[in-house]
Amino acid sequence: MLPEHLRGPGLTIHYTSPEAVDTFLRENEERYPNLDPGFISQICFEHPDRFDDLLPAFDPKEHSAVRGERSLGWIYDNVRYDHNAELDFWYEQFDRFRESGHTGYEIYTHMVRTGTWPFPPVIIEAGFAMSLGAPEDVGQPYHLIEGTHRVSYARRMMELGLTDRARSVEVVELTPGRQTPTTQ
Protein backbone atom coordinates (compact mmCIF):
# COMPACT_ATOMS: atom_id res chain seq x y z
CA MET A 1 0.00 0.00 0.00
CA LEU A 2 1.15 3.48 -0.69
CA PRO A 3 1.94 5.44 2.48
CA GLU A 4 -0.27 8.45 3.12
CA HIS A 5 2.37 11.03 2.05
CA LEU A 6 2.69 9.19 -1.30
CA ARG A 7 -1.05 9.31 -1.97
CA GLY A 8 -2.22 12.21 -4.10
CA PRO A 9 -5.77 13.50 -4.46
CA GLY A 10 -6.73 11.01 -7.16
CA LEU A 11 -7.19 13.78 -9.72
CA THR A 12 -5.69 14.11 -13.18
CA ILE A 13 -2.79 16.55 -12.96
CA HIS A 14 -4.42 18.77 -15.61
CA TYR A 15 -7.27 19.47 -13.18
CA THR A 16 -5.00 20.42 -10.28
CA SER A 17 -2.85 23.46 -9.63
CA PRO A 18 0.66 23.17 -11.08
CA GLU A 19 2.06 24.21 -7.70
CA ALA A 20 0.36 21.29 -5.94
CA VAL A 21 1.70 18.83 -8.50
CA ASP A 22 5.23 20.29 -8.32
CA THR A 23 5.27 20.17 -4.51
CA PHE A 24 3.97 16.59 -4.44
CA LEU A 25 6.58 15.47 -6.99
CA ARG A 26 9.48 17.28 -5.35
CA GLU A 27 8.74 15.98 -1.85
CA ASN A 28 8.29 12.39 -3.00
CA GLU A 29 11.22 12.32 -5.42
CA GLU A 30 13.44 13.26 -2.47
CA ARG A 31 11.92 10.55 -0.23
CA TYR A 32 11.90 7.88 -2.93
CA PRO A 33 14.75 8.17 -5.44
CA ASN A 34 13.82 4.59 -6.47
CA LEU A 35 10.47 5.77 -7.87
CA ASP A 36 10.45 7.35 -11.31
CA PRO A 37 8.67 10.74 -11.45
CA GLY A 38 6.29 9.27 -14.06
CA PHE A 39 5.18 6.69 -11.51
CA ILE A 40 4.77 9.31 -8.80
CA SER A 41 2.62 11.55 -11.02
CA GLN A 42 0.56 8.95 -12.89
CA ILE A 43 0.04 6.43 -10.10
CA CYS A 44 0.59 8.06 -6.73
CA PHE A 45 -0.92 11.46 -7.56
CA GLU A 46 -3.67 10.48 -10.01
CA HIS A 47 -4.68 6.87 -9.20
CA PRO A 48 -3.56 5.85 -5.70
CA ASP A 49 -6.73 3.91 -4.79
CA ARG A 50 -6.80 1.90 -7.99
CA PHE A 51 -3.10 1.09 -7.58
CA ASP A 52 -3.53 -0.06 -3.97
CA ASP A 53 -6.47 -2.24 -5.02
CA LEU A 54 -4.34 -3.89 -7.73
CA LEU A 55 -1.06 -4.26 -5.82
CA PRO A 56 -1.78 -4.11 -2.08
CA ALA A 57 1.65 -5.45 -1.06
CA PHE A 58 3.66 -2.88 -3.03
CA ASP A 59 6.10 -1.16 -0.68
CA PRO A 60 8.03 1.87 -1.96
CA LYS A 61 10.77 1.09 0.59
CA GLU A 62 11.26 -2.39 -0.91
CA HIS A 63 10.29 -2.04 -4.59
CA SER A 64 11.10 0.33 -7.44
CA ALA A 65 9.55 2.02 -10.44
CA VAL A 66 12.31 2.23 -13.05
CA ARG A 67 12.27 4.01 -16.41
CA GLY A 68 13.62 1.97 -19.28
CA GLU A 69 13.23 1.40 -23.01
CA ARG A 70 11.42 -1.23 -25.01
CA SER A 71 10.44 -1.46 -28.66
CA LEU A 72 6.86 -0.80 -29.70
CA GLY A 73 6.83 -4.34 -31.10
CA TRP A 74 7.78 -5.70 -27.67
CA ILE A 75 4.94 -3.67 -26.13
CA TYR A 76 2.52 -4.99 -28.78
CA ASP A 77 3.54 -8.61 -28.16
CA ASN A 78 3.94 -8.61 -24.37
CA VAL A 79 1.77 -6.03 -22.60
CA ARG A 80 -1.83 -6.88 -21.78
CA TYR A 81 -4.55 -5.56 -19.49
CA ASP A 82 -7.08 -7.04 -17.08
CA HIS A 83 -8.25 -10.55 -18.03
CA ASN A 84 -5.18 -10.71 -20.30
CA ALA A 85 -6.97 -8.49 -22.81
CA GLU A 86 -5.08 -7.10 -25.77
CA LEU A 87 -5.09 -3.33 -25.60
CA ASP A 88 -7.31 -2.66 -28.59
CA PHE A 89 -10.26 -1.03 -26.85
CA TRP A 90 -9.31 2.52 -27.94
CA TYR A 91 -8.91 1.60 -31.63
CA GLU A 92 -12.37 2.90 -32.55
CA GLN A 93 -11.66 6.25 -30.90
CA PHE A 94 -8.27 6.48 -32.64
CA ASP A 95 -9.88 5.75 -36.03
CA ARG A 96 -12.68 8.25 -35.38
CA PHE A 97 -10.17 10.98 -34.42
CA ARG A 98 -8.06 10.18 -37.49
CA GLU A 99 -11.02 10.27 -39.89
CA SER A 100 -12.36 13.55 -38.47
CA GLY A 101 -8.99 15.31 -38.17
CA HIS A 102 -9.60 15.74 -34.43
CA THR A 103 -6.82 17.57 -32.62
CA GLY A 104 -8.39 18.25 -29.22
CA TYR A 105 -6.89 15.33 -27.32
CA GLU A 106 -3.21 15.99 -26.62
CA ILE A 107 -2.15 12.34 -26.28
CA TYR A 108 -3.63 11.48 -29.68
CA THR A 109 -2.19 14.61 -31.32
CA HIS A 110 1.28 14.01 -29.89
CA MET A 111 1.31 10.36 -30.90
CA VAL A 112 0.20 10.98 -34.47
CA ARG A 113 2.78 13.75 -34.83
CA THR A 114 5.74 11.91 -33.26
CA GLY A 115 4.92 8.19 -33.53
CA THR A 116 5.33 7.68 -29.78
CA TRP A 117 3.69 8.65 -26.50
CA PRO A 118 4.26 11.91 -24.63
CA PHE A 119 5.05 10.15 -21.31
CA PRO A 120 5.71 6.50 -20.47
CA PRO A 121 3.06 3.96 -19.52
CA VAL A 122 3.54 1.95 -16.32
CA ILE A 123 3.92 -1.87 -16.50
CA ILE A 124 4.73 -4.82 -14.26
CA GLU A 125 5.72 -8.43 -14.94
CA ALA A 126 2.70 -10.64 -14.19
CA GLY A 127 4.42 -12.98 -11.72
CA PHE A 128 5.75 -10.07 -9.72
CA ALA A 129 2.30 -8.43 -9.81
CA MET A 130 0.70 -11.57 -8.37
CA SER A 131 3.37 -11.74 -5.65
CA LEU A 132 2.18 -8.25 -4.63
CA GLY A 133 -1.44 -9.38 -4.38
CA ALA A 134 -2.72 -8.79 -7.91
CA PRO A 135 -5.48 -11.13 -9.10
CA GLU A 136 -4.53 -14.04 -11.35
CA ASP A 137 -6.27 -12.42 -14.33
CA VAL A 138 -3.61 -9.73 -14.79
CA GLY A 139 -2.12 -9.28 -18.23
CA GLN A 140 0.50 -11.83 -19.24
CA PRO A 141 3.47 -11.72 -19.51
CA TYR A 142 3.34 -8.00 -18.56
CA HIS A 143 0.40 -6.13 -17.12
CA LEU A 144 -0.36 -2.51 -18.00
CA ILE A 145 -1.03 -0.54 -14.84
CA GLU A 146 -1.48 2.88 -16.45
CA GLY A 147 -1.60 4.07 -20.06
CA THR A 148 -4.49 2.36 -21.86
CA HIS A 149 -4.94 5.15 -24.42
CA ARG A 150 -1.22 5.38 -25.15
CA VAL A 151 -0.65 1.66 -25.59
CA SER A 152 -3.88 1.12 -27.52
CA TYR A 153 -3.11 4.04 -29.85
CA ALA A 154 0.46 2.77 -30.42
CA ARG A 155 -0.84 -0.71 -31.28
CA ARG A 156 -3.32 0.76 -33.76
CA MET A 157 -0.66 2.99 -35.30
CA MET A 158 1.58 -0.06 -35.86
CA GLU A 159 -1.28 -1.93 -37.51
CA LEU A 160 -1.92 1.05 -39.81
CA GLY A 161 1.78 1.49 -40.61
CA LEU A 162 1.95 4.90 -38.90
CA THR A 163 4.83 3.89 -36.63
CA ASP A 164 7.39 1.11 -36.62
CA ARG A 165 7.60 -1.97 -34.38
CA ALA A 166 11.32 -1.35 -33.89
CA ARG A 167 10.78 2.15 -32.53
CA SER A 168 12.23 2.51 -29.03
CA VAL A 169 9.91 3.95 -26.38
CA GLU A 170 10.17 4.63 -22.68
CA VAL A 171 8.19 2.68 -20.10
CA VAL A 172 8.15 2.72 -16.32
CA GLU A 173 8.40 -0.80 -14.92
CA LEU A 174 7.78 -1.85 -11.34
CA THR A 175 10.57 -4.10 -10.12
CA PRO A 176 11.50 -6.01 -6.97
CA GLY A 177 14.24 -4.50 -4.83
CA ARG A 178 15.12 -0.91 -4.24
CA GLN A 179 16.87 0.51 -7.27
CA THR A 180 17.97 4.08 -7.75
CA PRO A 181 19.18 5.67 -10.99
CA THR A 182 22.78 4.77 -10.07
CA THR A 183 21.99 1.08 -9.33
CA GLN A 184 19.80 0.27 -12.34
Tell me if 183 is assigned to some domain. Answer: no
122 backbone dihedrals φ, ψ, rounded to 5°: -115, 125
The mean pLDDT of 29-41, rounded to a whole number, is 95
**Structural domain containing residue 108:** 4-176
Tell me if 166 is assigned to some domain. Answer: yes
User: Which pLDDT band, with edges at 50, 70 and 90, does 180 fall under?
Assistant: low
Is pLDDT of 182 > 70? no
Tell me if 15 is assigned to some domain. Answer: yes
Is pLDDT of 48 > 70? yes
Task: Please list the residues that pair with 175 across neighbouring strands.
Answer: 64
Is pLDDT of 183 > 80? no
Tell me if 182 is assigned to some domain. Answer: no
Domain count, the chain: 1
pTM: 0.94
Tell me if 78 is assigned to some domain. Answer: yes
Residue of 26 and 184 predicted with greater confidence: 26
Tell me if 101 is assigned to some domain. Answer: yes
Tell me if 139 is assigned to some domain. Answer: yes
Nearest one of 155, 133, 132 to 85, comparing CA atoms: 155
CA gap 115, 88 in Å, rounded: 17
Taking 3-state DSSP, the helix, strand and coil percentages for the chain, each rounded to the nearest 5, stand at 45, 15, 40
